[in-house]
Amino acid sequence: MLDVQNQADTREIPLAKVGVKGLEYPIRVLDKKNTSQYTSATVDLFANLPKHFKGTHMSRFIEIFHRYRNDLSMPMFLNMLADVRRDLDAEASFGVVNFPYFLEKTAPISALPGMMSYRCSYQGNVNAHGRHFTVSISVPVATVCPCSKAISERGAHNQRGIVKVVLELGPFFWIEDVIDIVEKAASSPVYSLLKREDEKFITERAYDNPKFVEDVVRDVYLSIRNIKKFPRFSVEAENFESIHNHSAFARAEYAG
Amino acid sequence: MLDVQNQADTREIPLAKVGVKGLEYPIRVLDKKNTSQYTSATVDLFANLPKHFKGTHMSRFIEIFHRYRNDLSMPMFLNMLADVRRDLDAEASFGVVNFPYFLEKTAPISALPGMMSYRCSYQGNVNAHGRHFTVSISVPVATVCPCSKAISERGAHNQRGIVKVVLELGPFFWIEDVIDIVEKAASSPVYSLLKREDEKFITERAYDNPKFVEDVVRDVYLSIRNIKKFPRFSVEAENFESIHNHSAFARAEYAG
Amino acid sequence: MLDVQNQADTREIPLAKVGVKGLEYPIRVLDKKNTSQYTSATVDLFANLPKHFKGTHMSRFIEIFHRYRNDLSMPMFLNMLADVRRDLDAEASFGVVNFPYFLEKTAPISALPGMMSYRCSYQGNVNAHGRHFTVSISVPVATVCPCSKAISERGAHNQRGIVKVVLELGPFFWIEDVIDIVEKAASSPVYSLLKREDEKFITERAYDNPKFVEDVVRDVYLSIRNIKKFPRFSVEAENFESIHNHSAFARAEYAG
Amino acid sequence: MLDVQNQADTREIPLAKVGVKGLEYPIRVLDKKNTSQYTSATVDLFANLPKHFKGTHMSRFIEIFHRYRNDLSMPMFLNMLADVRRDLDAEASFGVVNFPYFLEKTAPISALPGMMSYRCSYQGNVNAHGRHFTVSISVPVATVCPCSKAISERGAHNQRGIVKVVLELGPFFWIEDVIDIVEKAASSPVYSLLKREDEKFITERAYDNPKFVEDVVRDVYLSIRNIKKFPRFSVEAENFESIHNHSAFARAEYAG
């Protein structure tokens, strides 16, 4: 049967990335407390395409990912990308896997349990120079506005925000530990399940601990830099402002 | 040229709705202050299909909507649906137009202007029994939690919420008037542009005026019922809780 | 500690629904082949609120759902809603759980396996008159346009579409069986993994089997009606037209 | 009134970006045929924040953008960012404006008119070294698969795709001209309104002109490079494959 993709191409244009995007797949990832957890992912997989080939072979990306779906620990994710590079005869391979990561979290006073969902993603590439791996972790938090508190005689506006940390690895670490750092840097963590005694505790703790997006970003940045594990990272915070219909945003970057 | 859609169908199954969905179009709607405003819409248009026809003629929906795009006042929207019914030889036609509606709003103390966007939609249907028209208006607001305020020694959690009012018409009314009702029923309206003196004012006003989603829904409901213009309506409020990663929700329905 | 929600309300407005919305949770559901599967869900849970109560107790919804997360078979989902009704002292409870449901599917010629994701949702309510349960299943398919094929000398436009079946139960059935009905009614099923021999087979089979959205809806409707299991159901098809930037849509409803 | 944002910060961490995100605003942009058009935008505006300041003044971003909303031609967009840099006392300012851009397009045979929507964005930054401006234009197209056509005895799978061109300017150009280049590089443009004679024409033209995502990207790349106007650009194509539930993707980059 004719292999159109394998035909020669004369336009002399190499493609940086060719592959599949938006694939929905069940995966299993490592979990500090329970060894592993099942979740659902959205997957992009690419390889570069040299200028002399007309097209890539899209089915090979799926064949490879299918084999790895039940063990997407960070090292296995890079092995998967190395297989993509080899099986596609490519100089470089690239991959992104987005998934919700679930943790049980107990309320601060009642200690009742609820599940929290944290959006995470693995991003990696493999080429002749090595393997590169980046993890992104998004943590919902609560923030009380320091300006609103300082200028108002009573109350202070506050809101939910999302803090996104992107880490270039580096030695192994647990997603749980980064979540912990972020939750400590906010006015308060957020929870799925809170009884009244928890709500009182959180309201007062958050009011006593007001933070701008700028403050949250700087405090997370300091904590991550102090670990001295990550050669490069960024921290972003987005507040869904309760007094506006838009967000407040801040971002810091560390490059060694 | 063969008209496949017009062929006879023997399966004996009438279709409730057939048509186009997700059409993006520039439109012009009425505006209380500036006579009219341009905005961008997402449009669904349907007709029923009797059991003896194989298919509908999708292009006719677009031809009709194209003619009406520059005057989508409420009466013209229904005229457009009447054209759909006629040109498609249908018993009934249906339409939904979603669009952001923009208003200039001044800050409460500084009086500085900013634009606010309110998601609105027109929904209508036309059949042998008449014309039916429903308008949906979504208004972002701020709410302070009465429970959090009552049980805490200081502060109170608050957040952005969205209040959605769906009105069955009824005589003409202005979208602006419904927005006004909703903003008055919340702990505070939200704004695009606020200086510090505005932020202080809003923080204190909201703290003095705590509201559950249940309260907001009931207060909007009362105000709309008191107008005695709308034969049927619903009010929903969704709070993007600052202490959770999910929403609190309430809904009331009025049916005459 | 003060129970603000439990205070009396004098506005005399009962609320149709009060509760939590957009909760992200890991769940386990039944699976025909593997007994059960883990997936990730978005959850809404509501109860009605009589006019004399100021507010509901939002934390109870989470406590109840947390207990049921590891067994959300259809009967257990209704038991969960019965618990909501009881623990919230409500006349009626309501719930929606949306989740991707994953199945392994083999290519038609090469027989290579890949995972497919199908968006499903459970919707139910429990009140003094009984328990009501509805399942929604969305199946991606390929459709070839019969008109384009008939009027063109070569080729025919085709595209991906989504067919959504909503079933009111009724006796137990498997999600897998509904997916099978839908895939047989399209021009072709879609797959995650296809080699060239599969692509040739699908291209020709689809070309030999052109279907409008109207046809797909009617053929699915016929097959489901013939099972005689479901007192009420609807079938919708949406085609992401390859020659337009909008969708073609059709819907049929069965009401006994 | 206390200016908390202006207080000194001792953490010694400069922030790369601080500002507002997700602001929805009505804007007016240039239009080749009609001089200008109104549309609705989502806006992000940022400035850097030196390490010695605690916070930025978020309201100033809105004040500045409000003044420019009625003339967001490309030069005025950069003037707006220069104002942000000046009024925020920043070394660098950044902005992104996303909007649907509408054009009337006539069907290829019937010449009937319909409106098409193209997602565009302006991205810019201003600092001591100058002004940088990038435009992103997304064009929906139809593609017929060359492999499917070559290996099948009849038919060929085809689908809608989106081609995204990102251009670093460079001298002035019209969005319309880039849209034209992309539509010529696909198997066929897509349209809002097509009669049967148009559908026949497009079906046959597309079948005679099969293109992989790789081909579309390379042909757009060649045309844009040949204009010799843009110091840097990228071209991406994403096909919503009709035989899969995921996309095929290709990307090329030009860097002078």
pLDDT digits (tens, 9 = 90+) for A117-130: 999 999 999 999 99
Mean pLDDT over B3-30 rounds to 95
Q: CB contact, 8 Å: B4 with chain C?
A: yes
CA atoms within 13 A on the CB side of D100: 20
The token pair that represents D233 in the structure block = 């650009």
Is C215 in Cβ contact with B22 (below 8 Å)? Answer: no
pLDDT band at A17 (very low <50, low <70, confident <90, very high): very high
pLDDT band at A21 (very low <50, low <70, confident <90, very high): very high
C207 Cβ contact list (under 8 Å, min separation 6): C144, C149, C156, C187, D152, D154, D155
Separate counts of helices (H) and strands (E) for chain C: 6, 9
The token pair that represents B31 in the structure block = 């505006």
Q: CB contact, 8 Å: D69 with chain B?
A: yes
Nearest residue on chain D to B194, alpha-carbon basis: D59
Q: CB contact, 8 Å: D199 with chain C?
A: yes
Instruction: Indicate the average pLDDT of chain B.
Output: 96
Residue B137, SS3?
A: strand
Residue D105, SS3?
A: strand
Is D39 in Cβ contact with B40 (below 8 Å)? Answer: yes
Do D112 and D104 form a contact (C-beta atoms < 8 A)?
no
pLDDT digits (tens, 9 = 90+) for C177-191: 999 999 999 999 999
Q: CB contact, 8 Å: B157 with chain A?
A: yes
- Measure the CA–CA gap between C131 and C80, rounded to whole angstroms: 11
- Measure the CA–CA gap between C171 and D15, rounded to whole angstroms: 60
Which residue is it, tokens 């500690």? C1
Residue A127, SS3?
A: strand
C4: closest CA of chain D, how far (Å): 34
The token pair that represents B119 in the structure block = 């998601």
Intervals of chain D under pLDDT 70:
none
Torsion of Cα atoms, B49 then C147 then B97 then B221, to 10°: 40
Paired sense of beta strands D158-169 and D232-239, if any: antiparallel
- Measure the CA–CA gap between B60 and D81, rounded to whole angstroms: 45
Length of chain A: 256
Looking at this protein, which amino acid is placed at residue C52?
Answer: H
Is C3 in Cβ contact with A196 (below 8 Å)? Answer: yes
* Count of beta carbons in the 10 Å neighbourhood of residue B108: 16
- What pLDDT is attached to residue D133? 95
Torsion of Cα atoms, B216 then B221 then B222 then B227, to 10°: 130
- Measure the CA–CA gap between B164 and D256, rounded to whole angstroms: 51
Query: Of the candidates B58, B102, B121, B38, which has an alpha carbon nearest to the alpha carbon of residue D102?
Result: B38
* Count of beta carbons in the 10 Å neighbourhood of residue D110: 16
Residue C74 has pLDDT above 90, yes or no: no
CA distances from B204 to B156, B208, B213, C109 (A): 11, 6, 19, 69
Residue B243 has pLDDT above 90, yes or no: yes
What is the phi/psi pair of residue C19, to 5°?
165, -150
A163: closest CA of chain C, how far (Å): 17
Q: CB contact, 8 Å: C56 with chain B?
A: yes
A222: closest CA of chain C, how far (Å): 30
Residue B1 has pLDDT above 90, yes or no: no
Residue B188 has pLDDT above 80, yes or no: yes
Is D214 in Cβ contact with A49 (below 8 Å)? Answer: yes
Do B185 and B164 form a contact (C-beta atoms < 8 A)?
no
Residue A74 has pLDDT above 90, yes or no: no
Residue B141 has pLDDT above 80, yes or no: yes
Do B40 and D120 form a contact (C-beta atoms < 8 A)?
no
Do D92 and D129 form a contact (C-beta atoms < 8 A)?
no
The token pair that represents D16 in the structure block = 């790369």
Query: Of the candidates D165, D124, D123, D121, which has an alpha carbon nearest to the alpha carbon of residue D141?
Result: D165
Do A250 and A237 form a contact (C-beta atoms < 8 A)?
yes
Is C17 in Cβ contact with B251 (below 8 Å)? Answer: yes
Q: CB contact, 8 Å: B249 with chain C?
A: yes
CA atoms within 13 A on the CB side of D7: 15
- Measure the CA–CA gap between D160 and D176, rounded to whole angstroms: 20
- Measure the CA–CA gap between B154 and C150, rounded to whole angstroms: 73
C253: closest CA of chain B, how far (Å): 7
Is A195 in Cβ contact with C59 (below 8 Å)? Answer: yes
CA atoms within 13 A on the CB side of B140: 23
Instruction: Point out the residue among D58, D218, D249 whose CB comes nearest to the CB of A19.
Output: D249
- Measure the CA–CA gap between A60 and B38, rounded to whole angstroms: 48
D246 Cβ contact list (under 8 Å, min separation 6): A20, A21, A22, A23, A24, C192
Name chain A contacts of C39, Cβ cutoff 8 Å. 26, 38, 40
- Measure the CA–CA gap between B178 and B231, rounded to whole angstroms: 15
Beta strands in chain C (DSSP E): 15-31, 35-49, 93-106, 113-127, 130-144, 158-169, 188-189, 232-239, 247-254
Query: Of the candidates B160, B159, B72, which has an alpha carbon nearest to the alpha carbon of residue B116?
Result: B160
- Measure the CA–CA gap between D55 and D61, rounded to whole angstroms: 14
Residue C170 has pLDDT above 80, yes or no: no
- Measure the CA–CA gap between D75 and D172, rounded to whole angstroms: 9
pLDDT band at A34 (very low <50, low <70, confident <90, very high): confident
Mean pLDDT over B163-187 rounds to 93
- What pLDDT is attached to residue A1? 82
Residue B97 has pLDDT above 90, yes or no: yes
pTM value? 0.97
A203: closest CA of chain C, how far (Å): 15
Which residue is it, tokens 């197209």? D141
Query: Of the candidates A167, A176, A163, which has an alpha carbon nearest to the alpha carbon of residue A219?
Result: A163
Residue C171 has pLDDT above 80, yes or no: no
Query: What is the C-alpha radius of gyration for chain A, rounded to an integer number of angstroms?
Result: 22
pLDDT digits (tens, 9 = 90+) for A211-220: 999 999 999 9
CA atoms within 13 A on the CB side of D188: 29
pLDDT digits (tens, 9 = 90+) for C23-68: 999 999 988 888 899 999 999 999 999 999 999 999 999 999 999 9
Do D152 and D141 form a contact (C-beta atoms < 8 A)?
no
- Measure the CA–CA gap between B83 and B29, rounded to whole angstroms: 19
Show the CA angle centred on residue B253, arms to residues B249 and B255, nearest 5°.
Answer: 175
**What CATH class has C1-104+121-128?**
alpha beta
Query: Of the candidates A51, A62, A54, which has an alpha carbon nearest to the alpha carbon of residue A13?
Result: A51
Paired sense of beta strands B188-189 and B232-239, if any: unpaired
Mean pLDDT over B137-162 rounds to 98
Q: CB contact, 8 Å: D255 with chain A?
A: no
Show the CA angle centred on residue A203, arms to residues A197 and A206, nearest 5°.
Answer: 135
Name chain B contacts of D194, Cβ cutoff 8 Å. 59
Instruction: Point out the residue among D66, D117, D193 whose CB comes nearest to the CB of B114.
Output: D66
Q: Given CA atoms A164, A168, A174, A178 in this order, what sign does their dihedral have?
A: negative
* Count of beta carbons in the 10 Å neighbourhood of residue C91: 14
Residue C1, SS3?
A: coil
- Measure the CA–CA gap between D149 and D161, rounded to whole angstroms: 18
A111: left (phi over 0), alpha (psi -120 to 50) or beta: left
- What pLDDT is attached to residue C147? 97
The token pair that represents B110 in the structure block = 């500084």
Do A166 and A182 form a contact (C-beta atoms < 8 A)?
no
- Measure the CA–CA gap between B127 and B81, rounded to whole angstroms: 9
Residue ranges of chain C that CATH labels 3.10.270.10: 1-104+121-128, 135-256
The token pair that represents A26 in the structure block = 């069940």
Do C95 and C81 form a contact (C-beta atoms < 8 A)?
yes
Q: CB contact, 8 Å: A232 with chain D?
A: no
Name chain A contacts of D13, Cβ cutoff 8 Å. 217-218, 221-222, 252
pLDDT band at B178 (very low <50, low <70, confident <90, very high): very high
- Measure the CA–CA gap between A155 and A207, rounded to whole angstroms: 8
Alpha helices in chain B (DSSP H): 58-68, 74-87, 146-151, 175-185, 196-207, 213-227
- Measure the CA–CA gap between B182 and D148, rounded to whole angstroms: 56
What is the phi/psi pair of residue D241, to 5°?
-40, 130
**What CATH class has B135-256?**
alpha beta
The token pair that represents D163 in the structure block = 């081609």
